[in-house]
Amino acid sequence: MLSKPAKRDIRHRRRFIGNGYHREDGLWDIEVFLTDKKSYTFNNRDRGYIAAGEPLHEMAIRLTLTSEFEIIDIEAVINQSPYFICPTAVEKCHLLKGEFIKPGFNKRVLKLFGGAKGCRHINDLLAYAATLSFQSINHNDSLEDKKINLENLTYIKEKFVNSCYTYREGGEVYNYYQEAFENILK
C-alpha cells in the first residue's frame, strides 16, 4: 500500500481494464478498455464542452490470438475522444493481422502506428494487451498444474530471465529455477 497522501482533489482518472478469454474454438480473445475522465467541466473545440465525469476518452481493443500468439483478428474502437477525427486513427489496425506477440511487438506497433500514423492511446492499449496475452495464455497450461518439468523450465529460461528485477540472473527466483533445471538434467 502507498502511504497516506496529503489532502488533495482528484482532477483526472484513467482506467485500464483488461480481460483474457479462452474461446470454445481454442483461440484467445484479449480485450482492453481505456476510459479517461476529468473531475471538472471544460471547453472542447469539437464537442463544445466535456462535463465533469463524462469520458474524455473511451476506447477498446480486442485481439483474437492463437496459442502461439499470432494475431488472427483485431478490432479497435474509439467511442469518445476530444476530437471528431480521432476514431479514424484505428483504420489501419488490421495491419497487425498475422503478426505475433513476442519480444519486439511494442516496437513493431510503434513502427506501424507511432506518432502521426496512429493513436497513442490505442498503442498503449496494444502494449497492455500484449502483457495480458502472456498472463492469459502462458499461465493457462504451463505453471497452473504446478508441475516443474523440463518444458516449463526451458520456457522460463527463454522468456523470463532478465525480463525484470525478480527474474534477474543470479537472483533468488532465478537461482530456484536454475537449480530445478540442473536437477532435471542430471
Question: Closest Cα to residue 136, out of 29, 42, 43?
Answer: 29
Query: CB neighbours of 110 closer than 8 A, spacing ≥ 6?
Result: 123
For residue range 23-73, what is the model confidence (pLDDT) as tens digits?
A: 999 999 999 999 999 999 999 999 999 999 999 999 999 999 999 999 999
Model pLDDT, residue 145: 46
Mean confidence (pLDDT) of the chain: 91
Cβ 93 vs Cβ 76: under 8 Å: yes
Q: State whether 184 and 150 are in the same domain.
A: yes
Model pLDDT, residue 138: 78
Higher pLDDT, 40 or 167: 40
In the predicted structure, residue 142 carries a pLDDT above the cut 50: no
Q: State whether 17 and 86 are in the same domain.
A: yes
For residue range 67-90, what is the model confidence (pLDDT) as tens digits?
A: 999 999 999 999 999 999 999 999
Mean pLDDT, residues 116-129 taken together: 97
Kindly tell me the sign of the dihedral angle through the C-alpha atoms of 119, 120, 123, 129.
negative
In the predicted structure, residue 150 carries a pLDDT above the cut 80: no
Q: State whether 34 and 125 are in the same domain.
A: yes
- Provide the angle, in degrees to the nearest 10, between the axes of the packed helices 150-159 and 172-185: 140
pTM comes to 0.83
Model pLDDT, residue 79: 98
Distance CA 150, CA 144 (A): 15
Asked whether residue 108 is assigned to any structural domain, the reply reads yes
- Letter for the amino acid at 176? Y
Provide the pLDDT confidence category of residue 156 given band limits of 50, 70 and 90. Answer: confident
Residue 136 DSSP symbol: I
Domain housing 162? 145-186
Model pLDDT, residue 143: 45
What is the count of structural domains for the chain? 2
Asked whether residue 185 is assigned to any structural domain, the reply reads yes
Find the helix or strand (DSSP H, E) in which 33 lies: strand 28-38
Q: State whether 61 and 80 are in the same domain.
A: yes
